[in-house]
Amino acid sequence: MSKEWYLFGAGSISGFEEGNFDGDRYGFKQLIDSFMGKTVENFGDKITNTPFEHRAIIQNVSADTPSNADHRQILAEIGTLQCGQYIKFDNRFWLVISLVDNNRVYDKAVLWYCNYMMNFIPPGATEKVTYPTTVINATQYNSGVETTQKMQIGSAQKLVFVPYNTETVDVDHDFRLLIDRRIAKPTAYIVTQVDTEQFNYDGYGVLRWTLEEDTLRDTDDIANMVADNTPTTDSGDDDPGGGWL
């Protein structure tokens, strides 16, 4: 929806701008309540939260390139959106990835599609949690494997985006995750970098984890896709996890 203002009656700056904005806000309320809007579920920073429903307009639904096909723009009433929120509509989870701002008429933000449901046990906890995540393949200019004198090991890299909250903020370097749709023999990854600053907006935001491929351990809980993060003693060989190659 490139012409966002085409239904708004106010369009002049004549010394009565506040009245014009009030008129535009009323026009936007009519717009989101029309067929152009839809009801979305807002879960905040965890999908275990009780969601609240609100109306919104979703833009960029007919992207013409693959790189934009999983990105959306969302318009909602002012005060509704924050970076790091999960928004669900059409039975899909989306993550508010951008700074949320408004033009005194509506909030506007960017959504990224959550393409993977990731399981892990947060540091200091005992129960598994599940997070819809945006996972991006960051392996560039190599074959995805590294050859040593004894074996070939994976060298794939990924970027994972999750909301900043009390469960995710304690995940640090060397934390392991299982990320794969092949649950019979999944790929393990280890966190090598945690970016807490780039998507930090007003105390809300998103964490970006950089992951490198790790060796699968025999002790990983493959049935539940939860990696084992129990400290191990380095035996000095090329397969410290003692798992599959």
pLDDT at 208: 96
CB 186 within 8 A of CB 178: yes
The pTM score is 0.80
Confidence of residue 12 (pLDDT cuts 50, 70, 90): very low
Predicted confidence (pLDDT) at residue 122 exceeds the cutoff of 90: yes
Residue-wise pLDDT tens digits, 175-198: 999 999 998 899 999 999 999 999
Is pLDDT larger for residue 31 or for residue 9? 31
How many of the other CB atoms lie within 10 Å of CB of 83? 23
Give pLDDT tens digits for 87-96.
999 999 999 9
Residue 190's pLDDT is 97
Sequence-distant (≥ 6) Cβ neighbours of residue 13 within 8 angstroms = 20
Banded model confidence at residue 22, pLDDT cuts 50, 70, 90? low
Most confident of 68-72, 210-214, 235-239: 210-214
Which CATH fold topology does 17-113 show? Thrombin, subunit H (2.40.10)
Report the pLDDT value the prediction gives residue 5, as an integer from 0 to 100. Answer: 45
Longest dimension (CA), the chain: 77
Residue type at 228 in one-letter notation: D
As a whole number, the mean pLDDT across the chain is: 84
**Is residue 82 classed exposed, middle or buried when 0-12, 13-18 and 19+ CB atoms within 10 A define those classes?**
buried
What tokens does 144 get? Answer: 């995805």
Q: Is 175 helix (H, G, I), strand (E, B) or coil?
A: coil
**Of 24-28, 29-33, 43-47, 168-172, the least confident:** 24-28
pLDDT for 147 beyond 90: no
Among 12-26, 31-45, 62-76, 152-166, name the one with the lowest average pLDDT. Answer: 12-26
β-sheet bridge partners, residue 134: 161
Mean pLDDT across the stretch 137-147?
58
Domain 116-214 class, CATH top level: mainly beta
pLDDT of residue 14: 41
- Mean local confidence (pLDDT), 62-87: 90
Size (the chain), residues: 245
The DSSP symbol for 226 reads: B
Secondary structure letter of residue 127 according to DSSP: S
Please state the domain extents for the chain. 17-113, 116-214
Does residue 142 contact residue 212 with C-beta atoms inside 8 Å?
no
